[in-house]
């Protein structure tokens, strides 16, 4: 039997889903859910979460980066107790679903509420955090709240403006002034941490396609971005024979196809998201094509080697045909492994609930990444219907939320003996 069975967890999951629905009504735009950084909706959302955290027995703090932090204190007199962070984000993309990020915060609040109702205090402090601005919709900076709390935020990231030319600082000033709660400077939590957990919907089809309710994340896969420029010769579409053209688009499409074949054969993600053709006229042979590559997988070395080899071979072929190529690596992030020790605690309770634990990688980045260099991290994915996310059709099943809440409650209880981590 699942050890958390004695808690009223089906009531918990109902509460979680009702609250997801309530928060989905708090939006920047009428008719659809869009909740971006430092807006009125951001303040209103934090106010409601503040109430729920307090009902769950937590002390609540609002910081100047827009985060909301609920602390469930220890039973002991230790003034500097070990800290477990559990959080996810409360902001959304444009025309968003109701569960991305939000579900993780509300499951954590419910798990603490379970402990509180059972008058259970632990020798460690639990911080439940609703991070601000994971999505980076309003300003071109993302994961701002979690980076600030982890102490890894570079202030240069904040010298940005939104599309109405409101600077980050002005938006922050308005947010602070509007708040009905005291706003404190962001507190960096990088000392005395025992772990950082995140519950999140999968946002992909792996769990739902196999009818698996939850999955333990092994790693957040690495990603590389490149820009490729192919330089040929523009010309008249009606006069230059196709066989003798230096048509940049023809060769770009060959390379794109070769890269896609490579990714399918070697099981990595590949996306050509932007293609720019010059001069870009119907009756003109393309003289220049620039396109982007986004490639992701767990095996960073293998993926990079294969892409470089493919592009290098293609470059030789191009020069034989009198075309040139430029290849630029614009972004790289290595795969970040989740903590085996923390994952083994998730594994244990999933087994106790009579389910064989399922492991999967995360294709997307998450707030927990901000803490990677500081403390062991771990993630539990909850299945989302048909794997769809970032759209209003995003959906989770109550029984899966129920299970996630039980597992998290048990993991927190396990932290009685925090030195096991």
Taking the complex as a whole, the smallest distance from the CB of residue 272 to Zn ion amounts, in Å, to 24
Residue number, nearest CB to Zn ion: 101
SS3 of the chain: helix, strand, coil, percent, to 5: 40, 25, 35
Q: Give the per-residue contact string, 5-34, with Zn ion (x = CB under 5 A; - = no).
A: ------------------------------
Q: Give the per-residue contact string, 49-88, with Zn ion (x = CB under 5 A; - = no).
A: ----------------------------------------
Nearer to Zn ion, 114 or 370 (CB): 370
Cα 128 to Cα 302: distance, rounded to the nearest angstrom: 37
Nearer to Zn ion, 63 or 100 (CB): 100
Q: Which stretch binds Zn ion (CB under 5 A): 100-108, 189-197, 310-318, 400-408?
A: 100-108
Cα 195 to Cα 180: distance, rounded to the nearest angstrom: 31
Nearer to Zn ion, 201 or 234 (CB): 201
Nearer to Zn ion, 84 or 220 (CB): 220
91 burial (CB, 10 Å; 0-12 / 13-18 / 19+) is: buried
Q: Which stretch binds Zn ion (CB under 5 A): 57-65, 94-102, 234-242, 315-323?
A: 94-102
Taking the complex as a whole, the smallest distance from the CB of residue 293 to Zn ion amounts, in Å, to 24
**The residue count for the chain:** 421
Cα 335 to Cα 226: distance, rounded to the nearest angstrom: 17
Taking the complex as a whole, the smallest distance from the CB of residue 389 to Zn ion amounts, in Å, to 8
Nearer to Zn ion, 101 or 232 (CB): 101
In our burial notation (b when 16+ CB lie closer than 10 A, e otherwise), range 112-123 reads bbbbeeeebebe
Q: Is 145 in the site for Zn ion (CB under 5 A)?
A: no
Number of residues near Zn ion (by CB under 5 A): 2
Taking the complex as a whole, the smallest distance from the CB of residue 221 to Zn ion amounts, in Å, to 15
Nearer to Zn ion, 100 or 247 (CB): 100
Q: Which residues contact 32 (CB under 8 A, 6 or more apart)?
A: 94, 95, 96, 392
Cα 172 to Cα 64: distance, rounded to the nearest angstrom: 7
The pairing of beta strand 377-382 with beta strand 288-297 = unpaired
For the chain, how far is it from start to end, CA to CA, in angstroms?
25
Taking the complex as a whole, the smallest distance from the CB of residue 100 to Zn ion amounts, in Å, to 4
Nearer to Zn ion, 101 or 287 (CB): 101
- List the beta bridge partners of residue 126: 72, 84
- List the beta bridge partners of residue 85: 127, 196
Taking the complex as a whole, the smallest distance from the CB of residue 92 to Zn ion amounts, in Å, to 9
Q: Which stretch binds Zn ion (CB under 5 A): 31-39, 93-101, 149-157, 191-199?
A: 93-101
Count Cβ atoms below 10 Å from residue 327 Cβ, excluding itself. Answer: 17
User: Contact with Zn ion (CB under 5 A): which of 101, 195, 222, 232?
Assistant: 101
Taking the complex as a whole, the smallest distance from the CB of residue 134 to Zn ion amounts, in Å, to 6
Position of tokens 């490149």?
226
Nearest to 418 by CA among 10, 28, 78: 78
Cα 271 to Cα 225: distance, rounded to the nearest angstrom: 10
The pairing of beta strand 284-285 with beta strand 214-220 = unpaired
Taking the complex as a whole, the smallest distance from the CB of residue 367 to Zn ion amounts, in Å, to 8
User: Contact with Zn ion (CB under 5 A): which of 91, 100, 110, 400?
Assistant: 100
Nearer to Zn ion, 100 or 288 (CB): 100
Taking the complex as a whole, the smallest distance from the CB of residue 304 to Zn ion amounts, in Å, to 26
Point out which residues bind Zn ion (CB under 5 A): 100-101
């Amino acid at each position: 039997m699942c050890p958390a069975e004695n808690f009223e967890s089906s009531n918990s999951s109902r509460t979680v889903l009702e609250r997801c629905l309530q928060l989905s009504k708090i939006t920047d735009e009428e008719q659809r859910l869009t909740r971006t950084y430092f807006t009125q909706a951001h303040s209103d959302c934090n106010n409601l979460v503040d109430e729920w955290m307090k009902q769950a027995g937590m002390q609540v703090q609002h910081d100047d980066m827009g985060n909301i932090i609920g602390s469930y204190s220890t039973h002991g007199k230790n003034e500097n107790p070990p800290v477990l962070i559990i959080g996810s984000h409360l902001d959304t993309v444009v025309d968003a679903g109701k569960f991305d990020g939000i579900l993780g915060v509300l499951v954590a609040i419910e798990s603490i509420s379970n402990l509180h109702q059972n008058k259970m205090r632990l020798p460690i402090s639990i911080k439940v955090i609703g991070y601000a601005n994971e999505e980076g919709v309003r300003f071109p900076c993302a994961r701002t709240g979690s980076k600030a709390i982890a102490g890894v935020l570079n202030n240069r990231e904040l010298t940005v403006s939104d599309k109405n030319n409101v600077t980050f600082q002005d938006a922050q000033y308005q947010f602070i002034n509007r708040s009905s709660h005291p706003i404190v400077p962001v507190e960096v939590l990088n000392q005395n941490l025992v772990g950082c957990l995140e519950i999140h919907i999968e946002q992909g089809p792996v769990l739902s396609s196999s009818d698996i309710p939850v999955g333990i994340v092994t790693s957040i896969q690495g990603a590389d971005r490149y820009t490729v420029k192919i330089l040929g010769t523009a010309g008249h579409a009606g006069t230059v024979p196709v066989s003798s053209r230096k048509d940049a688009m023809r060769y770009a499409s060959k390379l794109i196809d070769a890269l896609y074949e490579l990714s399918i054969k070697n099981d990595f993600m590949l996306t050509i998201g932007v293609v720019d053709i010059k001069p870009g006229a119907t009756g003109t042979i393309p003289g220049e094509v620039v396109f982007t590559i986004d490639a992701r997988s767990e095996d960073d070395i293998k993926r990079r080697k294969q892409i470089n080899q493919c592009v290098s071979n293609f470059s030789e072929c191009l020069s034989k045909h009198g075309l040139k190529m430029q290849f630029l690596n614009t972004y790289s992030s290595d795969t970040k492994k989740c903590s085996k020790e923390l994952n083994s605690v998730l594994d244990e309770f999933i087994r106790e609930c009579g389910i064989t634990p399922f492991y999967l990688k995360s294709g997307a980045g998450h707030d927990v990444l901000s803490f990677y260099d500081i403390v062991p991290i771990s993630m539990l994915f909850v299945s989302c219907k048909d794997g769809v996310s970032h759209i209003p059709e995003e959906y989770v099943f109550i029984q899966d939320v129920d299970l996630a809440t039980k597992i998290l409650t048990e993991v927190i209880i396990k932290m009685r003996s925090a030195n096991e981590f």
